[in-house]
Amino acid sequence: MAIKLVREFQQKQQLSMTPQLRKSIDLLQLSRVEIINKINAEIENNPFIIKKESDETLASGHDSDFMSNIAEMITLTDHLQNQLEDLGLTNSEKKIAACIVHSLDESGILNIDLHELEELLEFESSLDEIQLVLENIIQHLEPAGVGAGSFKEVIHIQLKRKNLPQNQQELVQEILFNPDFKNFEHVKSSLSNKFPVELIQHTLSLIKACDLSPGLGFESTQMIYPDVEILSLKNELEIQFIQNDFPQLQIDSELEQLVKDKKNAANKALQEKITDAKWLIRSVEKRNETVREVGELICKKQAEFLVGQSLQLNSLTNLELAKELNLSPSTVSRILRAKYIQTPKGALSMRSLLSASVSKTRKVTPQQLMEEIKRVIGNSPKKLSDQKLVEILNKRGFNLARRTIAKYRTKLNIPNSRKR
């Protein structure tokens, strides 16, 4: 049998990750402080990049004494641990409390459930013991609201500290945890026959005044500066990228002209510096514009929550954001990292304003589902099994599996029907 050499040609499409594309992707996930530090470093290394004289950088807005004292500022974790040391806790309570404190995010909210904490503690403590430490110790620390599992719980903890009259406490409970209420106007119309209108209005004012990110005031290991702000709430949300203290860059045209002058034999390194400078300016502008677009869409989707008309976040995921903005999900995911929006409720991370739906046929957030499960179980004289809960909720259009109901019932720390 003869052996032949055959030449074949094939066409293939392939995306090459160039160094500049990789650097552009890296810029997307930098926080405001991180990208400003990177820009300042590039200015030091590249003589062709200069700042516009009319603008000041973030660093220039703070004197050197302040910046030198940053390391001495106390973190949220340190602040909470200092309080724990004065409580005379048992060794078991100390271990559980330390695990919870280190599991809080930068705003002071606990985004993991008790089962995950149980696993972190290597199952040395029971769910009941963890629950007791969380409710009776962590949630009584300062600032009020740390250890909450949601924005509603943050508000509930803060208002409990105010020693409100009994009827107002009942009103707070009803407003926060009744899943039937869509917004505050619905609250007013539904509860006006049970509570005085003045009391409802006063309670809503207290709710709107609560701090939804109680831990941010103590976070010093990562400086928090919002990228996007809400300008006006009169007719509709107006969103813009915060230009104050952000370096406005341009090419040093005089230096560039000298390099291009034919009389000067510019070497390849200088030409690369010019190319890098132009790339950085374009990439930073594109990064800021993309951050603004993502922030604007999030604010529009969660408008009722942000303007104080509702306590409930709408179902929203990064996949939905990517589809509407015609971006890749990975780009949106990078944008959401360490980005904050300045809202009337304080600085909130973009990611905290997202909430995935647990149902494919109806937009239901995990918080809404847990409130509904809690309400159905509480209103039923019988001990409802998970299967019975599925039947009741699916008749209301939730279309959920039994394991989903069991998962969120467990997150509520409600035992199964046999143990209730």
Decide: pTM greater than 0.75: no
Give percent helix, percent strand, percent coil of the chain, each to the nearest 5.
Answer: 55, 5, 40
What pLDDT sits at residue 13?
65
Predicted local confidence at residue 271, as pLDDT: 81
Given a contact cutoff of 8 angstroms between Cβ atoms, the answer to whether 343 and 232 are in contact is no
62-121: per-residue pLDDT in tens? 444 433 444 445 788 888 988 998 888 899 999 999 999 999 988 889 988 888 888 888
Block residue for tokens 């559980």: 96
User: Quick one: pLDDT at residue 54?
Assistant: 55
Exposed, middle or buried: residue 124 (CB in 10 Å: 0-12, 13-18, 19+)? Answer: exposed
Task: Give pLDDT, residue 234.
Answer: 61
Beta strands at 239-241 and 228-230: parallel, antiparallel or unpaired = antiparallel
pLDDT in tens, 173-232: 888 888 778 788 888 888 888 888 899 999 999 998 898 888 887 654 456 788 999 886
Q: Are 310 and 299 in contact (CB under 8 A)?
A: no
pLDDT of residue 331: 87
Give kind and range of the element (H or E) at residue 250: strand 249-251
